[in-house]
Amino acid sequence: MTAVSTYLLTGMALFLVGLHGLLTLQSMLRRIIAVNLMGSGVFLVLTALAARVPDADPVLHALVVTGLVVSISATALALRLHGAIQRHREDDDS
Amino acid sequence: MAIAEIILDATLIGLLLVMGLGTLHTRRTGASIALFAGFGMILALVWARLGAPDLALAEAAIGAGLTSALLLRAASITEEEEISIPARRQWLSWLFVAVVFVWLALHVIRLSTPVDSPSLPNLVAGHLADSGVDHPVTAVLLNFRAWDTLLELLVLLLALLGFRQVARRNQHPYDADSHPAPWPLLKAWSRSLAPLLVVTGMYLLWRGSESAGGAFQAGAVLAAAFVLLRLSGQLPVVHWSRWTVRLAALVGPALFLTVAGASALAGEGWLDYPDGMSTPLILLIEAAATVSIAVTLAFLVSGEEEDIAE
Amino acid sequence: MALLIALTALTMLAAVWRLLNGPTTADRLLSVQMLGTTSIAVLLLMAEWQQQSHWRDVALVLALLGAVISAALVQLLRPVQKRDPARQRGQS
Amino acid sequence: MTLLLEALCIALLMGGLFFFLTGALGLLRFPDTYSRLHAVTKADNVGLGLLSAGLALSAADFQSTGFMALIWLLVMASGATSAQLLARYQREQDQQEPPTDGDR
Amino acid sequence: MNLALWSMAIPLVSGLVLLLAGPRQVRRWGGYLTLVASMASGLTAWYALQSTTIQLRQYLLLGNWEEGLAIRLELTTLSALLLLFTALIHGLVALYARFSRHGISHAYWPLSCLLHGTLAALWLSGDLFNLYVTLELLGLTSIALLTQSGARAWRPALDYLLLSLAASLCYLLGVAMLYGQYGLLDITLLSDMTQNDGATRLALILMTGGLMLKAAMWPLHGWLPAAHASAPTAVSALLSALVVKGPLFILWRLWSEVAPIDAAVQAGPLFAAAGIAALIGGGYASLRSPYIKTLVAYSTVAQMGYAMMALGLLLFWQHPQMHVALWLFVIAHGLAKASLFMAAGEIQNTLGTRRISALRGATQTVPIAMFAFAVAGGSLIGLPPSGGFLSKWVLLGPLLNDPWHWPWAAGVFLGTLVSAAYVFRAVIMGFDRVHIKRPDLNPDRTAQWLAMLPALLVWAMALSGNWLTAWLGGGGI
């Protein structure tokens, strides 16, 4: 059990926890967080794979940087939609 | 020594899992979001532990910083809600997750030994001298796989476009009427913090060609400075309807596309920088990309509402 | 050195406990701040341990962003309590 | 001399660790938000200060020492400011709601 | 190769130009610029297609770096054809959006241009991670387009966004596992290396799951009807005709190139079976739908079943004719679906209701749109001599030769019956002359004719069937 494999497994676990959350949770905010967790899990798998070689694989690091940006932009969009839906509902109620 | 490393790994992984589970399943929204912010910090430590400085920087700025700011802003307009999950079928779904995990784990564990044959890290190291920069991650991002980065900038741009379209007619959650005026202390603090952020952003950009750092990290830090100043009410609302603002958001992808097109027309091919020009071109593109990323992230995080009169 | 790092990291567990159990929002923000400071300490120690200076950059960014977040969020969180729809509409 | 320096360095690092541990303990055990605030900020600032001092002693160059000093100052300032802000925020909350309802 | 790159760059650049220009300018000439861009892109794609007849497979290693290090862009006859198809559909939809009376907001133009460019990048890419980025880009563009119809699209857009993110993360995890095992991202290089072992299969399963979710393939189609039906008409047309085809293309490349051949043969029947389930399930849902646009959206789910079936049988038998059938089908469906959505939108706008019962008497009130609906529907059913017929004919050819394959053929016939049922349900209602629903507005004749245009093209496809089959047959696997 090397450090790399433990982190690989942790990444997988986070991915699954996120997926489970996305599918079972009711609250939209939590589901958005869940998708973020899935992303972190995948990035952890990628980075753990990068750590297998002595000087860490720069290609994988670049891929994760790219992925991080995707995830924040999508999160911002999702949260905006969520907020808009909430306010819309409030307006309808009144 | 080895034992100490195991303790460190175990602590980090334990924290990661506890916070990951907690952020999804704790009852209060506030706790959930605070846990998520902490999760980002731990993740930055994990990247450091795995020898990925670029990721640690990006995570510290984006994951721990901007994403939690986003979530908190969202929570501030959401009613505090307590979630209660029906406990009946809960264990069944977790059992299913556990089974899938074991199945995945059996395959994934085999990947922990490196591949021997054509290994990209060696290729990167071999061509680093020709790439125009000294830092391998920057070389991959802006030279070897520049096409990914170009499309990435478009992703960011499209997120912003989608973001702007939602709730255009509604009022923005953060407007001066519903929030109390910022405390003077906050104002003073942000006035002294913002220049430091700007300097750090510039520093990260400048260091990017030789060491960890680069456009994404620098852009995120600059965006944080902007958000802070906006929140403490020291910057006016930025309007998308001004063409300068649009230009700032577009300059990164536009310049990148221009370089790509020009190199296809006049040079060797799409995104093939001419000899000797790689370093200045990469620096130029990075600087432009930083501006675009900073502006876009600032819009996304501070959630500016704009031209309603349009 | 590694042991020192590990022990410092262990103190984060306390912050997580406080995060999970609250009871007030200020407590949680405080724990996040504590987590941030501890992370910075760990990063500085790692920089010394592995003799690599870029962890200090990370620590700096973390410190800066932590400061931004805790300052900005206090401001953002304030109106939550006031957001009682009926009362708000009554005022406007 | 070097021995003395090393001993001092280790002592400082240990001191830093001690303050982190006490801070954690305070966060766990202190009864209300204000005292926890007090515990965390004090312990964190001193802890990080001692750690950076210890590391600075063994550091090779001035650049890293300067960096650590900057980070420490930043954390201290940020800690002080956000402690202020948090305390005020908490007071605002307490004033709004009866103190018995501490669950917010 | 450069021609194909221009075909991609032209819409991207025009998208950026449109963003930079102020709303007033975009309102004035945005539509025209989009039309010109799609035409120019189509023209370059046409020349690229010509060049592939000389050299079947061209590739470009970006930045002229070594194989494996660089991102590979690939131009085959198929990708050139898809470039042309994208430009064509984009142009047709832009024509409709520009001249229809129920105009579209100015924000539509840059987004549709960027969508076109993204798809072009996807058709050309030969790198697993680059495909991930194009997928994300495609997803976000679709969301941005979707949110144009305002508050009622928010909820479907959010669901779509979250699912699409989860799907791309599944895909990315698969990519990570492949990279972990083989150390490569380049599809062409990977295709020589992959072995049929557990980790590879797992990676393929993860990626397939993600892509099927993105392509709304049965059983992962739940998000599609709400999303596609709530978008503005022109956007629905683009989403249904083009966007779902992107993940399908990646799926095809994955299984026909990356996957080891024995794994592909094992997976084939599963795909085909899911395809039949999609045909029947989607068709039934479409038949039961109370709204016009939902009917059309569910029909996309059903029709993707044919694509999945063709893909599955292609993998199962490795029969090149299935490859032709698959892509003929994609093109025919794209044209027909664009027409169908535009006609549905026109009918809906004119009659002022979304309900399908409003179609009563539509042959009299909105005759041209109704005719377009019927004509496009005819292609979906596969009436000769439409493009839909052509693709089905190619698909059925090998199925009918061998008695053992007849069950699959029966599946196709069953699917045809179901699609006939839901198309005729709407059309027959249109001929009802007793309970005519009077239109709220004057019918917009130009827009109706424009909605008809793709339907006419899909029938014209049968005339050029020889070329298409030759191109696809020659440039295939």
Our answer on whether C and E touch (3+ beta-carbon pairs < 8 Å) is no
pLDDT (0 to 100) of residue A35: 94
* C-alpha distance from B47 to closest chain A C-alpha (Å): 7
Residue E170 has pLDDT above 80, yes or no: yes
| DSSP H helices in chain C | 2-10, 12-21, 25-50, 54-77, 85-91
pLDDT (0 to 100) of residue E475: 46
Helix (H, G, I), strand (E, B) or coil at B122: helix
Q: Checking phi first, is residue B305 left (phi over 0); if not, alpha (psi -120 to 50) or beta?
A: beta
Q: Using beta carbons and an 8 Å cutoff, which residues of A are at the interface with E?
A: 15, 19, 22, 28, 31-32, 35, 38-39, 41-42, 45-46, 49, 59-60, 63, 66-67, 70-71, 73-74, 77-78, 81-82, 84-85, 88
Please state the rounded mean pLDDT for residues C52-64.
86
* Chain D residues close to C47, C-beta within 8 Å: 55, 64
Please state the rounded mean pLDDT for residues E420-428.
87
Q: How confident is the model at residue A14 (pLDDT cuts 50, 70, 90)?
A: very high
- Are the CB atoms for B17 and A7 separated by under 8 Å? no
Q: Quick one: which of E211, E461, E456 has its CA closest to E329? A: E461
8 Å CB contact of B243 and E13: no
Q: For residue range B138-176, what is the model confidence (pLDDT) as tens digits?
A: 888 888 899 999 999 999 999 998 888 886 544 444 443
Residue A9 has pLDDT above 50, yes or no: yes
Which chains neighbour E (Cβ–Cβ under 8 Å, 3 or more pairs)? A, B
More confident residue, B84 or B253: B253
Q: Quick one: which of C31, E152, E236 has its CA closest to B39? A: C31
More confident residue, A59 or B116: A59
The 10 Å Cβ neighbour count of residue E408 is: 24
Return the DSSP state at E62: G
The 10 Å Cβ neighbour count of residue D65 is: 16
Mean of pLDDT over chain D: 78
Residue E300 has pLDDT above 80, yes or no: yes
Return the DSSP state at E72: E
- In terms of Cβ atoms closer than 10 Å to its own Cβ (0-12, 13-18, 19+), residue D99 is exposed
Q: Residue C6: which of B8, B69, B193 has the nearest Cβ?
A: B8
pLDDT (0 to 100) of residue E15: 92
pLDDT (0 to 100) of residue E17: 92
The pair of three-digit structure tokens given for residue B165, joined into one six-digit string: 């379209």
Q: How confident is the model at residue B77 (pLDDT cuts 50, 70, 90)?
A: low
The 10 Å Cβ neighbour count of residue A55 is: 12
Chain C: residue nearest B36 by CA?
A: C32
DSSP per residue over chain D, as a string? Answer: -HHHHHHHHHHHHHHHHHHHHHHHHHHHH-SSHHHHHHHHHHHHHHHHHHHHHHHHHH-SSHHHHHHHHHHHHHHHHHHHHHHHHHHHHHHHHHHHS-TT----
- In terms of Cβ atoms closer than 10 Å to its own Cβ (0-12, 13-18, 19+), residue D100 is exposed
Residue B308 has pLDDT above 50, yes or no: no
**pTM attached to this predicted model:** 0.92
Please state the rounded mean pLDDT for residues E448-461.
85
Q: How confident is the model at residue E405 (pLDDT cuts 50, 70, 90)?
A: confident
More confident residue, E346 or B184: E346
- Name the helix (H) or strand (E) containing B56: helix B53-58
Q: Tell me the C-alpha distance between E181 and B31, whole Å.
A: 39
Please state the rounded mean pLDDT for residues C42-71.
84
Q: Tell me the C-alpha distance between B64 and B39, whole Å.
A: 7
Chain E: residue nearest B242 by CA?
A: E22
Q: Residue B166: which of E68, E129, E154 has the nearest Cβ?
A: E154
The pair of three-digit structure tokens given for residue C12, joined into one six-digit string: 């984060």
Residue B212 has pLDDT above 50, yes or no: yes
Q: Residue E162: which of A35, A49, A59 has the nearest Cβ?
A: A35
Location of structure tokens 């910090």: B41
Q: Tell me the C-alpha distance between B223 and B292, whole Å.
A: 10
Convert B208-238 to b/e letters by CB count within 10 Å (16 or more is b).
bbebbbbbbbbbbbbbbbbbbbbbbeebeeb
| DSSP H helices in E359-434 | 362-365, 367-381, 387-401, 406-430
pLDDT (0 to 100) of residue C36: 87
Please state the rounded mean pLDDT for residues E249-270.
90
Return the DSSP state at A56: -
**Percent share of chain B, pLDDT over 70:** 86
Query: Per mean pLDDT, which range of A37-41, B173-177, B205-209, B220-224 is the poorest?
Result: B173-177
Pairing outcome for strands E72-75 and E58-61: antiparallel
- Are the CB atoms for B64 and A36 separated by under 8 Å? no
Q: For residue range A35-66, what is the model confidence (pLDDT) as tens digits?
A: 999 999 999 999 998 888 877 888 999 999 99
- Are the CB atoms for A38 and A74 separated by under 8 Å? no
- Note if the bond before B53 is cis, omega within 30 degrees: no
Q: For residue range E114-161, what is the model confidence (pLDDT) as tens digits?
A: 999 999 999 999 999 999 999 999 999 999 998 888 788 888 999 999
pLDDT (0 to 100) of residue C91: 36
Q: Tell me the C-alpha distance between E119 and E114, whole Å.
A: 9
